[in-house]
Amino acid sequence: MGEDVDAATLDEAIRGLAASYAERGFELVEVASGLRLQARERFAPWIARLTPERPPRYSRAVLETLALIAWKQPVTRAEIEAVRGVSINPNIIRTLQERGWITVVGKKEAPGRPDLLGTTRQFLDDFNLSSMDELARRVFPEPEASGQEQ
């Protein structure tokens, strides 16, 4: 199979594969790290019955911190604290790093050279996003044209 394949041929093959799954329980989804074959959302209740594990629950503070990092990245811990109005427990950052959702992306050119935090490819994959632009489109979808001029 070691043949070179051009991008157009590969795209056509991927579209064909995705179309072949159109009426099945699986779908081919583009995520940041490539393509993922996954069960369709409507089958989640049945799949959940098969897997006794429950996904971890995260506190509101963890989710708020992750949302701020995703939205304002690169961002320092102090900048997150300023927006939230409370100090961040170090365990929150550690939890997000252990999950693979955030990482240190650099140092801010400021006194103390604090770490700049940003999201990872794992974050995009786990939240079923192909890019940060897709996150913005999901949060702020384009209004549908009403067909009327105002």
Global pTM value: 0.64
Class of domain 60-136: mainly alpha
Judge whether residue 149 has pLDDT over 50.
Answer: no
Class of domain 7-50: mainly alpha
Task: Specify the DSSP class assigned to residue 130.
Answer: S
Predicted confidence (pLDDT) per residue in 73-99, tens digit = 999 999 999 999 999 999 999 999 999
Residue extents of the structural domains in the chain: 7-50, 60-136
Predicted confidence (pLDDT) per residue in 12-71, tens digit = 888 888 888 888 888 888 888 888 888 898 988 888 888 777 778 899 999 999 999 999
CA distance 131 to 121: 9
Whether cis (ω within 30° of 0) applies to the bond prior to 74 is: yes
Q: Do domains 7-50 and 60-136 have the same CATH topology?
A: yes
CA distance 6 to 91: 47
Residue 18 confidence (pLDDT):
86
Count Cβ atoms within 10 A of the Cβ of residue 138 and give its class: 0-12 exposed, 13-18 middle, 19 or more buried: exposed
Closest CA to 117 of 82, 68, 63: 68
